[in-house]
Structure 1
Amino acid sequence: MIERYGTSAQTARVDRARVHAWLSQQSYWAQGRSRETQDAAIDGSRNYGVYDEDTGDQVAYARVVTDGVTFAWLCDVFVAPEVRGRGVGKMLVAAVIEDLEPLGLKRTLLSTGDAHGLYAQFGFAPLADPSKMMALVL
């Protein structure tokens, strides 16, 4: 079934309305995020999607905030409920990592409440010393 899906890193291909609906209504981390905020986040990030090659519909999304040289933050990873369990999440994360690899980034971080197993398959691990990390939450 995975054969019918393809990835793209073209921001112009992102279905902004669909991504906003997913994140603002169905995610646990971006509930209530405004469309204006989501569009600004898309515009300021590297964007990735998985698309149904038969229909052209977007079925997954991720974005990366990066300086393009030393650091990246993988965020807003979302797979449509109707295609979960079909390898779409793995396809998406693999495409992100492949795209970032030539940059030679020293560190790529992410935060997840429920997909540790997925990310571990790609080498992500808990921080060696999380006590060094801090956050300013406004």
Structure 2
Amino acid sequence: MERGAWTMDDERCVLRFGVGNMDFRRVTEMLAGAFWCPGISIGEVEKGAANSALVVGAFLGDLQIGYGRCISDKTRFAYILDVYVDPRYQRRGIGRRMVRSMMAHPDMADVYQWALVTKDAHGVYRELGFAPTARPGDWMEIRNPRPR
């Protein structure tokens, strides 16, 4: 499924949804350089995508330049993660387009609570309607070492 085509650098850029439309070698290259999952394997990337409610990729021609996914029950809650845009194409609104498209996707129409974690993109997500959680003390986590 393609949505939201636009032109960038005189080439057609499109968003594609679904595991079958992703270039997982390319996604792994991108995510392996991200601070939140350095060295992630293609197996981890593929398994994460397969178990997600929705995956989106941004493509410039045939080259995948962005990726994002969300985990959700598709009813009440969705968690957006792994939003990444190739540094050569950042600051052009691609990440925003991917997040907006996930939130507007028909499969997610019933979701009324969206969450994400960001280290350095608060301004971007604020523009999309996100705000710091009203009750940060209510959120809890277990953080184990990453299996190798």
Matching residue within 65, 69, 86 for 2:92: 86
Match of 1:17 in 2: 25
Match of 2:119 in 1: 113
Say if 1:120 and 1:60 are closer, same or farther in 2 by CA, change over 3 A.
Answer: same
Structure with bigger strand share is 2
Match of 1:35 in 2: 42
- The number of equivalent residue pairs is 134
Moved beyond 4 Å, runs of 4+? none
Structure with bigger helix share is 1
Question: C-alpha root-mean-square deviation of aligned residues, in Å?
Answer: 1.5
Superposition map of 1:51-130 within 5 A: 51-52=59-60, 55-99=61-105, 102-130=108-136
The amino acid of 2:48's aligned partner reads A
Structure-2-length-normalised TM-score: 0.84
Gaps of 5+ in 2: 1-5
| CA distance in 2: counterparts of 1:99 and 1:85, whole angstroms | 23
Structure 1 range deviating more: 38-47 or 4-13 = 4-13
Gaps of 5+ in 1: none
Q: What secondary structure, in the 3-state scheme, does the structure 2 residue paired with 1:97 have?
A: helix
Higher relative contact order (CA 8 A, sep 6+): 1
CA apart distance, 1:101: 7.5
**Identity rate, percent:** 28
Structure-1-length-normalised TM-score: 0.90
CA apart distance, 1:23: 0.9
